[in-house]
């Protein structure tokens, strides 16, 4: 089984041999096709539904989101909150950053640098 890591909201292409599935894939709620760029998956649940179709053809998509604080990749499936989280986000916080004692101050510093860079 081939595994393809993708990020929510970022376009990706499925292999040409899976072209027959195009119609079924674009019908999934939360999946869009942008001409010239490829497919965009909006959330975790759209990804699950997409995998139900693609797995039949030997391909699995693995979702990742980025940590807004340190930039690390986070795999929702491996998160300790996977059962209770609504997984609607495209940016989250990794375990190391979330559990550090001064996490809020660090978050605020990161946010400050983001907004200062873009003029706040």
Partner 1 sequence: MNWTEKYRARSIVEIVGNEEAKEKLYRYIHSWKEHDKSGVLIYGPAGVGKTASVYAIANDMGYHVIELNASDFRSAEQVYKKLEGVVGGYTLDSFLGGRRMRPLLFFDEVDGMDPREDTGGLKALIDIASRRYTPVVAAANFIDPVKHKELIQSFEVIEFKSLTPRQILVILNRIVLREGLDIDRDVLVKIAERSRGDARLAINLLYSVHMGSDIEAISNPLENLPIDILLRRLSAQSDISEIRRLLESNPQHWKDVLYVYFDSIVRSPVMRDDRRERLMKYVSLLDLMLGSIESRGAYFYMKYIPHILSWIVYQANRWGAIYDGRIPEYRFYMFISNRKVREEMEEVFNDLQGNLHESIRKFFVYSLPTFVSLNRNKYPSLHRWVERVFGGVT
For partner 1, the binding residues (CB under 8 A) are 23-24, 27-30, 44-45, 48-49, 52-53, 56, 68, 79-81, 83-95, 97-99, 101-105, 107-108, 111-112, 115, 118-120
Q: How far is the CB of 72 from partner 1 (least distance, A)?
A: 12
Q: How far is the CB of 35 from partner 1 (least distance, A)?
A: 22
CB-based contact 42:30 (threshold 8 Å):
yes
Q: Between residues 36 and 101, which has the closer beta carbon with respect to partner 1?
A: 101
CA distance 25 to 105: 42
Kindly list the distances between the CA atom of residue 29 and the CA atoms of 8, 18, 88, 119, in Å, as whole numbers in the listed order.
Answer: 14, 19, 13, 36
Residues with Cβ within 8 Å of 88's Cβ and at least 6 positions away in sequence, in order, are 43, 44
Q: How far is the CB of 15 from partner 1 (least distance, A)?
A: 17
Q: Between residues 5 and 27, which has the closer beta carbon with respect to partner 1?
A: 27
Q: Between residues 28 and 41, which has the closer beta carbon with respect to partner 1?
A: 28
Taking only Cα atoms into account, the Rg of the chain, rounded to an integer number of angstroms, comes to 17
């Amino acid at each position: 089984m081939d595994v393809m890591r993708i990020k929510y909201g970022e376009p990706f292409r499925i292999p040409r041999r899976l072209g027959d599935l195009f119609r079924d894939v674009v019908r999934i709620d939360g999946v869009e096709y942008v001409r010239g760029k490829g497919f965009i998956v909006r959330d975790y649940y759209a990804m699950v539904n997409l995998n139900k179709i693609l797995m039949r053809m030997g391909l699995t998509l693995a979702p990742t989101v980025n940590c807004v604080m340190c930039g690390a990749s986070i795999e929702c499936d491996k998160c300790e909150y996977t059962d209770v989280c609504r997984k609607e986000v495209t940016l989250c916080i990794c375990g190391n950053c979330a559990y550090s004692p001064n996490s809020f101050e660090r978050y605020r510093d990161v946010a400050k640098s983001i907004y200062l860079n873009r003029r706040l």
